[in-house]
Amino acid sequence: MSFSYIHEGTGQRARTLIFLPGWGFDGRVGRYGRWPDDVAVLAPTAFTHAGLLAELHDYLDSHGQGDIVLVGWSLGAHLAWHFARLHPHLINSLVLLAGRSSWPPADIAALKQQLAADPAAFMRDFYRKCFLGRRQLYASFVKELQDDYLERLGSAPLAAGLDYLAASAMHGQVPADLPTRVIHGGKDRIAPVAERPHLQGASHQVIEAAGHLLFAQPLSW
């Protein structure tokens, strides 16, 4: 399975948190999260979302145990929402971070055009915007991961991710008996707070001072 631990936790663990990252990232970005000691955090090792939900289903169907918290960030919020709608019985709770309710096709087309013009420059600017308000974490990301990301990321998974966002939307009622939280940053430059999803049956929280990198906040899980 293309998942690995990005946070082992210490002491006795009661919960497993599965972190689905956003567009242009793999699970390593989760290293910058504020994860509590009583959870173990699994995240995908691949940049592409293709096949990810099927692998997650197979893993949880055969190995899932205890308290499973599914956390999706940005594009990962759409993936997590999709998974929860299909397989709510495999998870215990759902947390959706910094997910835009939908992405208009015109916005996706503009992003594709900018990406094609200068991929490296576009992605560097995108990463900077993701880390706004987190200067030290951004410096760590640039030093530790950005060059590797730019070298390994291909145009195909990036385009596929944008196509997925163009076709996806988060709206409607949350699955019955599945505790669901929607958390957004008031200073998010990637997914503006006015465009956050409003899901019936979910709890909603806006952290006014936060940007896009919400998992770097000291949240409760």
Residue 186: CATH number of its domain: 3.40.50.1820
Find the radius of gyration of the CA atoms of the chain: 16
- Strand ranges of the sheet holding 67-73, from the earlier edge strand across to the other edge: 3-7, 39-44, 15-20, 67-73, 93-97, 180-185, 203-207
Number of domains forming the structure of the chain: 1
Largest CA distance in the chain: 50
| pLDDT value for 198 | 96
| pLDDT value for 207 | 97
Give the containing element (helix H, strand E) for 94: strand 93-97
Higher pLDDT, 137 or 66: 137
Structural domain that includes position 83? 3-216
In this model, does residue 59 exceed pLDDT 80? Answer: yes
For the stretch 91-128, pLDDT in tens is 999 999 999 999 999 999 999 999 999 999 999 999 99
In this model, does residue 13 exceed pLDDT 90? Answer: no
Give domain status of residue 221, yes or no.
Answer: no
In this model, does residue 10 exceed pLDDT 80? Answer: no
Q: Give me the residues paired with residue 93 across strands.
A: 69
What is the mean predicted confidence (pLDDT) over 171-176? 96
